[in-house]
């Protein structure tokens, strides 16, 4: 079973890297790029066979390590 | 004073920190991140600068979960002193021993230069400087942009736990914060490097007062 974890900065937290990407896209001539937010996508292969148990375990991983919940939010998808 | 300096893979200021403690007169033990206990009688734990675990995932995130960190947390919980410098500050926030987080510098550049700082918090670390004193220490970081929730920042200010503030903000840190103290004022995290400014040959010696003050605070009565 595979889990896909998306980690993004929380709304309201400034993202200087996303802002730099936005400026670079503008410099390349892509007009109308109003905002860019940059995050992480983490794929985890699991031995678990139970979806609910797998999701609960991955959520625990997010709380303990994968996300810093002071500044980041996360979403877990079992695929 | 017995000091323990932790080394993680990728730490690169651990020797400098050990030298700074020793120069102040401390007995210094070097401790590997896979150890699970601090040397008996440790007064101060030093978490050094560097790029622990290659800054993978987030700066300090993996080091904060290393085996030795449970012993560091227990040391802090019983009122022991802990100082985290640069990457060590990032490790302490990731470990939950200090509030907030260190984000990418607002200007996106690695900043490496001496900076002027204002001493704004009273503690065993900072009492070697006068309150309001202007001191100069080197910084060298890519992720020193201190951020915390507005209520956390208000609380830090209200309790006088902002130890040091930048005279000119180099990285976008909220309220110019360069270093913060724990609630009991015995854990300090700071981005500037006092261990790189302990003698004139390093370009400045303002950092020596921190180690001397700690030495005084831990001297037997």
The domains located in chain A, with CATH, are: 2-78 (3.30.1280.10)
Q: Global pTM?
A: 0.95
Mean pLDDT of B154-166: 98
The length of chain A, given as a count of residues: 79
Q: Which residues of A touch B145 (CB under 8 A)?
A: 16
Average pLDDT over residues B124-143: 97
B77 and B19 Cβ atoms separated by less than 8 Å? no
What pLDDT sits at residue B103?
95
Q: Which residues of B touch A16 (CB under 8 A)?
A: 103-108, 145, 172
Interface touch B108/A70, C-beta < 8 Å? no
Q: Are strands B2-7 and B111-119 parallel, antiparallel or unpaired?
A: unpaired
Question: Could you tell me what percent of chain A has a pLDDT over 90?
Answer: 91
Residue B199 pLDDT class (50, 70, 90 cuts): very high
Distance CA B92, CA B84 (A): 7
Q: ipTM for the complex?
A: 0.86
- A13–chain B Cβ distance below 8 A for any pair: yes
Q: How far apart are CA A69 and CA A66, in angstroms?
A: 9
Mean pLDDT of all residues in A11-16 = 88
Residues of B marked active site are found at 86, 193, 195
Per-residue pLDDT, B221: 65
Class of domain B2-215: alpha beta
């Amino acid at each position: 079973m595979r889990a896909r974890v998306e980690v993004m900065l929380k709304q309201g937290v400034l993202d200087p890297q996303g802002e730099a990407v936005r400026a670079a896209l503008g410099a390349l001539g892509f007009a109308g790029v109003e905002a860019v937010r940059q995050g992480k996508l983490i794929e985890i292969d699991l031995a678990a066979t139970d979806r609910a148990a797998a999701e609960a375990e991955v959520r625990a991983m997010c709380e303990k390590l994968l996300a810093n919940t002071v500044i980041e939010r996360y979403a877990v998808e079992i695929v | 004073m017995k000091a323990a300096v932790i080394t993680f893979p990728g730490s690169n200021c651990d020797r400098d920190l050990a030298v700074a403690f020793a120069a102040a007169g401390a007995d210094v033990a070097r401790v590997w991140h896979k150890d699970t206990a601090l040397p008996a009688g440790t007064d101060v734990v030093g978490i050094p600068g560097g790029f622990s675990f290659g800054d993978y995932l987030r700066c300090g995130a993996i080091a904060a979960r290393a085996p030795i960190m449970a012993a560091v947390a227990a040391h802090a919980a019983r009122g022991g002193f802990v100082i985290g410098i640069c990457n060590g500050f990032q490790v302490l926030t990731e470990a939950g021993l200090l509030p907030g987080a260190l984000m990418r510098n607002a200007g996106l550049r690695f900043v490496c230069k001496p900076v002027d700082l204002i001493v704004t918090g009273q503690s065993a670390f900072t009492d070697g400087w006068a309150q309001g004193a202007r001191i100069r220490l080197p910084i060298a970081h890519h992720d020193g942009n201190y951020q915390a929730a507005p209520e956390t920042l208000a609380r830090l200010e209200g309790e006088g736990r902002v130890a040091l503030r930048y005279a000119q903000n180099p990285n976008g840190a909220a309220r110019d914060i360069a270093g913060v103290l724990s609630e009991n004022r015995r854990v300090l995290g700071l981005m500037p490097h006092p261990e790189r400014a302990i003698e004139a040959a390093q370009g400045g010696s303002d950092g020596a007062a921190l180690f001397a003050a700690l030495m005084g605070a831990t001297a037997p009565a």
